RNA sequence: GCCCACGUAGCUCAGUCGGUAGAGCACUUCCUUGGUAAGGAAGAGGUCUCGGGUUCGAAUCCCGACGUGGGCUCCA
């Protein structure tokens, strides 16, 4: 399951096993060694504090490390301080990290004597082939480990334990749940402090904090979990995005449709969603008349019905059916997160029905459109991932040949785009491989923002056809593609990306007009009216407050422009403009109107 | 769903050993009409998430439910 694989003549590094299976060069990186050794230090402290603890694995990860334990009693965040103290004590004792190479038999005996069942499992599993078993001893702590490590615990000074969570042994839900303790570790005090400071900064851009603060959205338990209330400001941002998306798609020969969020359950039986995706679907509704209705988890079946609305000829293809489609997924309660992971989802969705000859170009077009959207918004795709099957056949539907065809088609389209990408085995959709556009949130957690998928299955399940030039009936290929992604997740991402300071064209309020005294309110209203005639979004702050306060608040609200108007401006028909950078300028009202209107037209960043 | 936390005014948060509720901002009213980052005063606002329990007495301790956060699993 590890190592490079080859698709369509190109070779890719497999992701998904994180650093735990890192290549040998990576294992010797100084920072990797430091964090890996700190993980051992953590385990040494924990096993001293809680004798009888069984330790599982403890790899370095981005910014730090963790170690998984089966503890004799529950351990929580309140215990972290105590564990850190013990770690510091071990650091002061200047304990060496000593490599001990044992024969397979000796190793098994040793870990059996220690009662370390997880290590025995590893010896019987992934380390089964090795005859010489590398172990490391640090004081009384003894671990199965390839190393390398630092020479002594005294090299480890700049660490901090950060959180406790549950984690399943070998990452499988049916296995025992272990206690995972996370920490961060750095070569020097400054790097540690910088990292902790950056975390605190990231919290300030957190969409869960900024969203309610800027009145963009709220979540209320009375709507049910994962159901977003888009407040007027957030709805404005979303509406601007939607208008833009629809315009751009219409310009690329997409046809927009509107379809309902509820359908008979049989529709999802036919599509296969109910068989393969059921645990992510809301339970069916049973009507008094005995009908079974289902909230749709995806829009594809409805778009297939659009395709079927009339007989199709090859001349109709490619047929690009688009919708900003609402769908509902029953995500488990613990999986929900702010607006990034929700249960009511509005996807910038489309299904392209095409011939095999057209597939390449359609995939490229879908990739380019997504990139155009991202470029215009000044956001960056963190990485591209080609998600393919793994060898657990039960998870996937369709013939091998079609999967291979689909995988190579995506790989070729990606190659043509010139983007570097990685391969995610086992990350495919149940009906076909996909290309995932990955983004990072403020805390550098990775999410899939958008996908482009090739699908041979659904057209077959629905018996879709088109008449080919020779008069024969052929099955079209379906491309499922997002471009912007889900509006909830993407808006959350934008809030964090811009730290709430949306580009003017997206800003819920673009200009705040601030009269200096009551006497200037009529002129302020005039200015606002003029701006509104250009379809700009304006607010007049007519409260009897000092202009300094109005400015402070306008800045807190991240308004792109504040127009201060007083005696001078009213007389000369001008505005005193203050932008978000704090730059001030006096401008003729007409010049300002044109400047902002043009900035909005150009969607300037 | 699972593990670990958390839940006090609209928001951010204090609240000691169990003794009956506090601040700042926001809101309302009054004063102030002030030219570029927060004027002054007063007022109103609470079933301390909900339900049980322990106790003479619970925001505080215990149990459960609900919700939120960080992870795990899953995923756009």
ipTM: 0.93
Average pLDDT over residues A587-602: 97
pLDDT of residue A17: 39
Cα–Cα dist A521/A501, whole Å: 27
A557 CA vs B31 C1’ separation (Å): 28
Q: What's residue A238's pLDDT?
A: 97
Q: Give residue-wise pLDDT tens across range A62-77.
A: 889 999 999 988 888 8
Q: Looking at residues A1-10, what average pLDDT do you find?
A: 38
Give the model confidence (pLDDT) of A283-296 as tens digits. 999 999 999 999 99
Least reliable range by pLDDT among A66-70, A234-238, A359-363, A387-391:
A387-391
Q: With 60 as the cut, is the pLDDT of residue A18 above it?
A: no
Name the residue closest to B5, CA to C1': A77
Q: What residue is closest to B39 (Cα–C1')?
A: A546
Residue A567 CB in 7 A reach of strand B: yes
CA of A445 and C1' of B70: distance in angstroms? Answer: 12
- Report which of residues 361-400 in chain A place their beta carbon less than 7 angstroms from any atom of strand B: none
CA A500 from chain centre, in angstroms, equals: 18
User: Distance (Å) from CA A525 to C1' B28?
Assistant: 25
Cβ of A28 near strand B (distance < 7 A): no
What's the CA angle centered on A428, arms A375 and A26, to 5 degrees? 75
Nucleotide nearest to A488 (CA to C1'): B76
State whether residue A440 is helix, strand or coil.
strand
Query: Phi/psi of residue A570, each to 5°?
Result: -60, -40
pLDDT at A392: 83
Q: Decide which of A124 and A5 is more confident.
A: A124
pLDDT band for position A11 (cuts 50, 70, 90)? very low
Q: H-helix or E-strand containing A509?
A: none
Q: Is the pLDDT of residue A140 over 50?
A: yes
A554 CB contact with strand B at below 7 Å: no
A14 pLDDT higher than 70: no
Query: Does the pLDDT value for residue A12 go beyond 70?
Result: no
> Nearest residue to nucleotide B26 when comparing alpha carbons to its C1'?
A213
pLDDT of A2? 35
Per-residue pLDDT for A96 more than 90? yes
Write down the mean pLDDT value for chain A. 91
* DSSP assignment string, A511-572: EEEEESSGGGHHHHHHHHHHHHHTT--EEE--SS--HHHHHHHHHHTT-SEEEEE-HHHHHH
| CA–CA–CA angle A366, A372, A378 (5° rounding) | 140
For residue A518, count other CB atoms closer than 10 A to its CB: 10
The percent helix, strand, coil of chain A (3-state, each to 5) is 40, 30, 30
Strand B–CB A50 distance below 7 A: no
Across A95-109, A145-159, A293-307, which has the greatest mean pLDDT?
A: A293-307
For residue A164, say whether its CB is under 7 Å from any atom of strand B: yes
pLDDT digits (tens, 9 = 90+) for A197-218: 888 888 889 999 999 999 999 9
pLDDT at A128: 77
The least confident of A18-27, A37-46, A594-603 is: A18-27
Is strand B less than 7 A from the beta carbon of A172? yes
Q: For residue A13, what pLDDT is reported?
A: 41
Query: With a 7 Å cutoff on the CB, does A201 touch strand B?
Result: no
pLDDT at residue A23, rounded to an integer: 60
Please tell me which residue, A417 or A250, carries the higher pLDDT value. A250
Residue nearest to nucleotide B3 (CA to C1'): A166
What's the Å distance between residue A556 CA and nucleotide B46 C1'? 28
In the structure, how far is the CA atom of residue A72 from the C1' atom of nucleotide B66, in angstroms? 30
How large is the average pLDDT for residues A13-29? 54
Q: Å from A274 (CA) to B72 (C1')?
A: 26
Confidence of residue A395 (pLDDT cuts 50, 70, 90): confident
Q: Which nucleotide is nearest to A574 (CA to C1')?
A: B35
C-alpha span between A265 and A547 (Å, rounded) = 59
Q: Is the pLDDT of residue A4 over 90?
A: no
Which 3 state secondary structure label does DSSP give A472? coil
A447 touches strand B (CB under 7 A): yes
A403-430: average pLDDT: 90
Please give the average per-residue pLDDT across A511-537, as a whole number. 96
C1' (B50) to CA (A221) span, angstroms: 13
Taking the stretch 64-123 of protein chain A, residues with Cβ within 7 Å of any atom in nucleic acid chain B are 74-78
Chain B positions with any atom < 7 A from a protein CB? 1-5, 11-12, 31-39, 66-76
Find which nucleotide's C1' atom is closest to A428's CA. Answer: B75
**Residue in the block written with tokens 């310009």:** A251
CA–C1' gap, A543 and B40, in angstroms: 16
Q: Residue A118: in which H helix or E strand, if any?
A: helix A117-124
Give the burial class of A235: count Cβ atoms within 10 A of its Cβ; 0-12 exposed, 13-18 middle, 19 or more buried. middle
| Whether the predicted pLDDT of A21 surpasses 90 | no
| Rounded CA separation A561/A233 (Å) | 16
In this complex, the nucleotide whose C1' atom is nearest to the CA atom of residue A521 is: B33
Q: How many CB atoms lie within 10 A of CB A595?
A: 15
CB atoms closer than 10 angstroms to residue A434: 25
Q: What is the mean pLDDT of residues A15-32?
A: 61
Average pLDDT over residues A14-32: 60
pLDDT at site A24: 66
Q: Which of A9-18, A170-179, A408-417, A570-579 has the highest mean pLDDT?
A: A570-579
Q: Is the CB of A333 under 7 A from strand B?
A: yes
Backbone angles phi and psi of A224, in degrees to 5:
95, 155
Residue A129: pLDDT over 90: no
What pTM does this model have? 0.93
């Amino acid at each position: 399951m590890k190592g490079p694989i080859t698709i369509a003549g190109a070779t890719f590094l497999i992701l998904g096993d994180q650093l735990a299976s890192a290549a040998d060069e990576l294992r010797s990186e100084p920072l990797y060694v430091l964090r890996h050794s700190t993980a051992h230090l953590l385990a040494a402290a924990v096993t001293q504090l809680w004798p009888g603890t069984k330790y599982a694995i403890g790899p370095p990860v981005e910014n730090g490390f963790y170690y998984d334990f089966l503890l004799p009693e529950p351990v929580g965040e309140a215990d972290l301080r105590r564990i850190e103290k013990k770690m510091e004590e071990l650091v002061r004792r200047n304990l060496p990290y000593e490599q001990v190479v044992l024969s397979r038999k000796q190793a098994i005996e040793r870990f059996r004597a220690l009662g370390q069942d997880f290590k025995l499992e590893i010896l019987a599993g992934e380390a089964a082939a090795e005859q010489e078993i590398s172990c490391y001893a640090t004081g009384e702590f003894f671990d199965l480990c390839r190393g390398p490590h630092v020479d002594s615990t005294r090299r480890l000074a700049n660490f901090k334990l950060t959180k406790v969570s549950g984690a399943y042994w070998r990452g499988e839900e049916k296995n025992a749940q272990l206690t995972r303790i996370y920490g961060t570790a750095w070569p020097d005090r400054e790097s540690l402090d910088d990292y902790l400071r950056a975390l605190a900064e990231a919290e300030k851009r957190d969409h869960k904090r900024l969203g309610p603060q800027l009145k963009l959205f709220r979540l209320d338990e009375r709507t049910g979990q994962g159901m977003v209330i888009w407040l007027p400001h957030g709805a404005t941002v979303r509406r601007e995005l939607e208008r833009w998306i629809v315009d751009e798609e219409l310009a690329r020969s997409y046809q927009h449709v509107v379809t309902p969020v509820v359908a008979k359950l049989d529709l999802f039986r036919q599509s296969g969603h109910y068989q393969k995706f059921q645990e992510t679907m809301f339970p069916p509704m049973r009507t008094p008349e005995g009908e079974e209705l289902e909230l749709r988890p995806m829009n594809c079946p409805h778009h297939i019905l659009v395709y079927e609305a009339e007989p199709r000829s090859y001349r109709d293809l490619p047929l690009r059916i688009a919708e900003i489609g609402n769908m509902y997924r029953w995500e488990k309660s613990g999986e929900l997160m702010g607006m990034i992971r929700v249960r009511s989802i509005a996807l910038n969705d489309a299904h392209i029905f095409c011939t095999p000859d057209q597939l390449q170009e359609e995939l490229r077009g879908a990739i380019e459109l997504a990139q155009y959207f991202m470029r215009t918004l000044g956001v960056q795709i963190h990485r591209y991932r080609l998600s393919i099957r793994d060898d657990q056949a039960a998870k996937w539907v369709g013939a091998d040949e079609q999967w291979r065809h689909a995988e190579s088609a995506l790989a070729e389209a990606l190659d043509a785009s010139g983007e570097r990408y990685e391969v995610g085995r086992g990350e495919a959709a149940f009906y076909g491989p996909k290309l995932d556009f990955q983004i990072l949130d403020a805390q550098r957690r990775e999410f899939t923002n958008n996908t482009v998928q090739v699908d041979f299955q659904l057209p077959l399940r629905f018996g879709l056809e088109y008449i080919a030039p020779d008069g024969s009936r052929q099955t079209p290929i379906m491309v499922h593609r997002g471009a912007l992604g889900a509006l909830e997740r993407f808006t959350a991402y934008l809030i964090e990306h811009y730290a709430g300071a949306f580009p003017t064209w997206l800003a819920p309020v673009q200009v705040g007009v601030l009269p200096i005294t009551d006497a200037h309110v009529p002129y302020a209203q005039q200015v606002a009216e003029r701006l509104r005639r250009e379809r700009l979004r304006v607010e007049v702050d007519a409260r009897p407050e000092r202009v300094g306060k109005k400015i402070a608040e306008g800045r807190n609200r991240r308004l792109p422009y504040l127009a201060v108007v007083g005696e001078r401006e009213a007389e000369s028909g001008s505005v005193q403009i203050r932008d978000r950078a704090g730059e001030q300028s006096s401008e003729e009202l007409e010049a300002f109107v044109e400047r902002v209107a043009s900035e909005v037209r150009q969607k300037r960043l």
